[in-house]
Structure 1
Amino acid sequence: MSALFRRRRDAVVNGSGATGPARVDARTKNLTKRLQPGDVAVIDHEDIDRVSAEALVACRPAAVLNAARSTSGRYPNLGPEILLEAGIPLVDDLGPAVMSLRDGQPVIVEGAEVRVSDALVAEGTVQDAATIEANMAAAREGLSAQLEAFAANTMDYVQREKDVLLDGIGAPKLRTKLEGRHVLVVVRGYHYKEDLAMLRSYIREYRPLLLGVDGGADAIVEAGYKPDLIVGDMDSVSDQTLRSGAEIVVHAYRNGRAPGQKRVEDLGVEHVVFPATGTSEDVAMLIADDSGAELIVAVGTHNTLIEFLDKGRSGMASTFLTRLRVGSKLIDAKGVSQLYRTRISTWQLVLLALAGLLALFVALAATNVGQTIFGLSGAWLDDLVNFFRSLVGLAPSAPTT
């Protein structure tokens, strides 16, 4: 038995081996748009966050190869653990060489090694339960440093953007009227699908304006609705949704540069370019607030320390302070699906229905009208039984008294 064959056999046995066509993209959210089951995902993503990991799991790749460290130790990110629980091999810290793989090129993952035919391309670290647990323990120890950095970043943001926090951003002129309306802001974040499903009755009753933040607009469409407003840098929303008739606000940097403007211009979609600080998620909430929305309901947005860290420290302060700015108008729908998940089984529903019918029969039997109905029903049942008895040559049965 050759050494190469043994390596490949052992890699398959220990769960770290895989083969398939490489799909290469440094940005995970771009890669997941074209990643197919059985492909080998090749990314350059330090600190794989929860949303990215869940998007990868949904694509069911044969393996994930990461040029960077999947957990750097900066904070306890959940991405590697999610991939492990889904049974997807993860090899990280492979270095820039793995990004040189051509898209669609067949690759072989043998433990920590990545090969094309018999040629070694890169070698990294296989992530398993033990390594992930050790990385998470080390990362938790570093949280205090992240809290200090968060505080410093927040103070810097306050100094630079105090006018925004005190006076608002000055909402752009929109044809969509938000004043006095409920606005449902959808971000493609944690539990967005489940929470959108749980909000169906709210959407049906209150008919809020539906505002999608980049890919959140696609989430609205997938849920069976049509977005009224799309805000973002337009890097993760589909062309079809951009052409859906929703009003488009392209989020630009403070200096006026708008990377997403060319895309909407090429699509021939009417739009407004709006320079503002912070993330697109923050800008969407501030536009709703400044435009006079009565209530802002957020789906998939960020509100915990780990979620802020998932975004990257540069985006943490603006999100934190935006929530303070919007104040009591904001209701976070995150976790609604978890809170109200039904625990009633089918047989319990059947028993409940039978109990209701029994109570109805008892109530009818206590009234003259009910007794008359039961008497007529008994006579009808007698006629039906005698009809079938006559078909088989039997004598009629005695009438029910």
Structure 2
Amino acid sequence: MRLPTLRRSRAVEAGTIAGPARLDRRTKRLTGRLRPGDIAVIDHLDIDRVAADALVATEVAAVVNVKPSISGRYPNLGPEVLVKAGIPLVDDVGEDIFQELREGTTVRIVDGDVLVGDKVVASGVRQDADSVTAAMSDAREGLSVQLEAFAANTMEYLKRERELLLDGVGVPEIETPINGRHCLIVVRGYDYKEDLDVLRPYIREFKPVLIGVDGGADALVEAGYTPDIIVGDMDSASDDVLRCGAEVIVHAFTDGRAPGKARLDDLGIPSITFPAAATSEDIAMLIADEKGAELIVAVGTHATLVEFLDKGRGGMASTFLTRLRVGGKLVDAKGVSRLYKQNVSVSSLLLLILAAVAAMAAALTVSTVGRSYLEVVTEWWDGLLFQFQRLF
């Protein structure tokens, strides 16, 4: 992954960073309003890679975290992404910073201290490549405990959602025709932009049903496509994208509560509610499978155990079981690009050009018009040679 080059001032080089503070306890919500040079103040235990990628993309000057960015529960990937991008990370500064700072207040970071003027409002640990590497090494030792917890969560989810997983009970009726078609499910997760880019030939030829999961709908629009279905709790899809005409399915809690539906009602957008304990990307896969999709291609979703753990929540157990349910229909976007991409060798290209030239020559030779053109060209060539002979 290519990381943006961050502009560095002399103050940063000297170890001091200054900029306006932007605060939010939800990192995903904060990244929507961050600008280059801002200092992001977050409350994010064990920063995952998706959050870190989003922070890097905004070109923030620094990240200040209320919680430990690596707690030691498992080797989460986010802090390593930040330090590799050259973004200073100050860790574990404590909850009081949210009372001490206001949105837009200019702050300075000196080593592990956060200052407003000359007043230190919070202090933490300034992370670097060495400290992150050491913390990741320690975290790997606790991986077995997390695996046990993940297995327990998986069994608990299977007990609660057995009918949904095994028989599709609870999957809502939808208007978008899926049976016998390919479905492309887009989550704004790992490397989604790169995957969408390499899938352009596949999308153009197969015209799959385009399903955006929350912010994945925006990702589709940014890539030049219009989603057919939008699935999620509606906390990160933009208003304009929600109005694009796609069929909207709101992910609700198992008790029926759907906070995202109120937003859609305010926008005047009709929607369908799908109560489930699974994640939004999981219910998108379950809908596609239950409605008869021939193939499900996933962009930006979680595919490996490390990614499941890096998401940092017990709900990821549903993803593991959903992938077992969907089975052979599901293909990761990277796999499709490797299988679908066709390389034309240089020798084949030259052979094609020679064949075209030979065909044109044959056509000119056998046709009356072609012979006339050949006579004109021959006379022109003889005249050119004659002029050269006269010169010498």
- Structure 2 CA distance for aligned equivalents of residues 179 and 51 of structure 1: 32
CA shift in 2, pair 1:67/1:186, >3 Å: same
Supply the AA of the counterpart residue of 1:39.
D
- Give the stretch that moved more between structures: 373-382 or 179-188: 373-382
Matches within 5 A, 1:1-400: 12-13=12-13, 16-100=15-99, 101-334=101-334, 369=365, 377=377, 379-380=379-380, 396-398=387-389
Supply the AA of the counterpart residue of 1:65.
V
- Structure 1 CA distance for aligned equivalents of residues 209 and 374 of structure 2: 53
Cα deviation for residue 17 of structure 1 reads 2.3
CA shift in 2, pair 1:340/1:175, >3 Å: closer
CA shift in 2, pair 1:379/1:79, >3 Å: farther
CA shift in 2, pair 1:172/1:133, >3 Å: same
Conservation of the 8 A alpha-carbon contact between 1:191 and 1:300: yes
Supply the AA of the counterpart residue of 1:310.
D
Report the TM-score when normalising by structure 1: 0.85
Per-residue CA distance 1:311-340 (angstroms, 9 max, x = gap) = 223112110001111112212214656888
CA shift in 2, pair 1:335/1:62, >3 Å: farther
Conservation of the 8 A alpha-carbon contact between 2:231 and 2:284: yes
Conservation of the 8 A alpha-carbon contact between 2:285 and 2:296: yes
Conservation of the 8 A alpha-carbon contact between 2:114 and 2:122: yes
CA shift in 2, pair 1:13/1:206, >3 Å: closer
- Structure 1 CA distance for aligned equivalents of residues 319 and 272 of structure 2: 22
3-state SS, counterpart of residue 397 of structure 1: helix
Per-residue CA distance 1:76-120 (angstroms, 9 max, x = gap) = 111111111111111111111222311111111111110001110
CA shift in 2, pair 1:99/1:336, >3 Å: farther
Unaligned runs of 5+ in 1: 1-8, 387-394
- Structure 2 CA distance for aligned equivalents of residues 53 and 272 of structure 1: 32
Conservation of the 8 A alpha-carbon contact between 1:170 and 1:290: no
Cα deviation for residue 212 of structure 1 reads 0.6
CA shift in 2, pair 1:369/1:325, >3 Å: same
Conservation of the 8 A alpha-carbon contact between 2:21 and 2:38: yes
- Structure 2 CA distance for aligned equivalents of residues 123 and 339 of structure 1: 51
Conservation of the 8 A alpha-carbon contact between 1:112 and 1:126: yes
3-state SS, counterpart of residue 398 of structure 1: helix
CA shift in 2, pair 1:183/1:365, >3 Å: closer
CA shift in 2, pair 1:118/1:381, >3 Å: farther
Conservation of the 8 A alpha-carbon contact between 2:299 and 2:332: yes
Cα deviation for residue 227 of structure 1 reads 0.5
Report the TM-score when normalising by structure 2: 0.87
Cα deviation for residue 378 of structure 1 reads 5.8
CA shift in 2, pair 1:339/1:31, >3 Å: farther
Indicate the residue corresponding to 2:3 in structure 1: none
Conservation of the 8 A alpha-carbon contact between 1:211 and 1:231: yes
Indicate the residue corresponding to 1:6 in structure 2: none
- Structure 1 CA distance for aligned equivalents of residues 226 and 300 of structure 2: 18
Supply the AA of the counterpart residue of 2:230.
I
- Structure 1 CA distance for aligned equivalents of residues 250 and 153 of structure 2: 25
Cα deviation for residue 148 of structure 1 reads 1.0
- Structure 2 CA distance for aligned equivalents of residues 37 and 297 of structure 1: 34
Conservation of the 8 A alpha-carbon contact between 1:195 and 1:336: no
CA shift in 2, pair 1:184/1:357, >3 Å: closer
CA shift in 2, pair 1:224/1:163, >3 Å: same
- Structure 2 CA distance for aligned equivalents of residues 110 and 339 of structure 1: 50
- Structure 2 CA distance for aligned equivalents of residues 69 and 88 of structure 1: 16
CA shift in 2, pair 1:341/1:182, >3 Å: closer
3-state SS, counterpart of residue 237 of structure 1: coil
3-state SS, counterpart of residue 178 of structure 2: coil
Per-residue CA distance 1:183-236 (angstroms, 9 max, x = gap) = 111111111111111111111111111111100101110110100100100001
Conservation of the 8 A alpha-carbon contact between 2:187 and 2:300: yes
Unaligned runs of 5+ in 2: 1-8
CA shift in 2, pair 1:397/1:358, >3 Å: farther
Conservation of the 8 A alpha-carbon contact between 1:169 and 1:287: no
Supply the AA of the counterpart residue of 2:148.
E
- Structure 1 CA distance for aligned equivalents of residues 228 and 126 of structure 2: 45
Conservation of the 8 A alpha-carbon contact between 2:302 and 2:308: yes
CA shift in 2, pair 1:358/1:294, >3 Å: closer
Supply the AA of the counterpart residue of 1:44.
D
Post-superposition, which runs of at least 4 consecutive aligned residues in structure 1 deviate over 6 A? Answer: 338-344, 351-356, 358-368, 370-375
Supply the AA of the counterpart residue of 1:255.
D
CA shift in 2, pair 1:380/1:35, >3 Å: farther
- Structure 2 CA distance for aligned equivalents of residues 352 and 184 of structure 1: 33
